[in-house]
Structure 1
Amino acid sequence: MELTETRRIGEALGRAVVGARPLAGGYSHETSLLSVAGGGQVVARLGGAAPAVEAAVMAAGRTRVPVPEVLHVLPAVVEPYEARATMVLEYVHGTPLSRTLARGGDPADLRALGAEVGRVVARVGAVTFDRPGFFTDARLTVGRDERPWSRQLPELAEACVAAAPAERLDPATRRAWVKLCEAHAPALERVDHQARLVHADINPKNILVSRTASGWRVDAVLDWEFSYSGCPYGDAANMLRFGDAYPDGFVDGFRRGFRDGRALPDEDWEYLGRVLDMFALSDLVTRPPGHEIADAAAGMIRRWTARPFT
Structure 2
Amino acid sequence: MTPEETEAVEAALGEPIVDSRKLAGGFSHETWALVLESGRAVVRLGGGAPGVEAAVMERGTELAPVPPVRVVQESAVGDVRPFMVIDYIDGRMLDDLLADPDADGLRTLGSDVARVARRIGSLTIASRPGFFADPALHVRAERPWSEQLAEFAAECMAATPDERLNREHRRAWAKLCAAHAPALTEVDSDAQLVHSDFNPKNILVAPAADGWRVASVLDWEFAYAGCPYADAANMLRFADEYPPAYVEGFRAEYAEGMAPEDAARWEFVGIVLDMFALTSLVTRPIGHSVADQAAGRIRVLLDGGLPGRR
TM-score with structure 2 length normalisation?
0.94
Equivalent position of 2:143 in the other structure: 147
Please, which runs of 5 or more residues in structure 1 have no aligned partner? none
Q: Is the 8 A contact 1:23 1:33 kept in 2?
A: yes
Q: Is the 8 A contact 1:58 1:67 kept in 2?
A: yes
Structure 1 residue 261, shift from structure 2 partner: 7.0
- CA distance in structure 1 between the partners assigned to 2:95 and 2:160 by the alignment: 27
- CA distance in structure 2 between the partners assigned to 1:179 and 1:173 by the alignment: 10
- CA distance in structure 2 between the partners assigned to 1:89 and 1:178 by the alignment: 40
Equivalent position of 2:133 in the other structure: 136
Equivalent position of 1:42 in the other structure: 41
Equivalent position of 2:73 in the other structure: 74
Equivalent position of 1:33 in the other structure: 33
- Seen in structure 2, the aligned counterparts of structure 1 residues 264 and 216 have a Cα distance that, compared at 3 Å, is farther
Question: Is residue 116 of structure 2 the alignment partner of residue 117 of structure 1?
Answer: no
Q: Is the 8 A contact 1:160 1:282 kept in 2?
A: yes
- CA distance in structure 2 between the partners assigned to 1:95 and 1:264 by the alignment: 35
Structure 1 residue 248, shift from structure 2 partner: 2.7
Q: Is the 8 A contact 1:131 1:142 kept in 2?
A: yes
Superposition map of 1:206-221 within 5 A: 206-221=202-217
Structure 1 residue 265, shift from structure 2 partner: 7.1
1:136-155 Cα offsets, whole Å, 9 max, x none, are: 111000012x1111110001
Equivalent position of 2:50 in the other structure: 51
Q: Is the 8 A contact 2:49 2:74 kept in 1?
A: no
- CA distance in structure 2 between the partners assigned to 1:28 and 1:70 by the alignment: 19
Where do 4+ consecutive residues of structure 1 move more than 6 Å? Answer: 261-265
Percent identity between matched residues is: 54
1:126 to 99, 122, 126: 122
Question: Is residue 255 of structure 2 the alignment partner of residue 259 of structure 1?
Answer: yes
Q: The residue matched to 2:86 in structure 1 has which SS?
A: strand
Equivalent position of 1:301 in the other structure: 298
Superposition map of 1:58-207 within 5 A: 58-79=57-78, 82-105=79-102, 109-128=105-124, 129-144=126-141, 146-207=142-203
Letter in 1 for 2:73: L
Q: Is the 8 A contact 1:161 1:174 kept in 2?
A: yes
- CA distance in structure 2 between the partners assigned to 1:83 and 1:174 by the alignment: 39
Please, which runs of 5 or more residues in structure 2 have no aligned partner? none
Aligned residues: 305
- Seen in structure 2, the aligned counterparts of structure 1 residues 10 and 263 have a Cα distance that, compared at 3 Å, is farther
1:17-39 Cα offsets, whole Å, 9 max, x none, are: 111001123211100001112x4
CA RMSD across the alignment: 1.7
Structure 1 residue 262, shift from structure 2 partner: 7.0
Q: Is the 8 A contact 1:115 1:253 kept in 2?
A: yes
TM-score with structure 1 length normalisation?
0.94
1:282-305 Cα offsets, whole Å, 9 max, x none, are: 001100012111111111212212
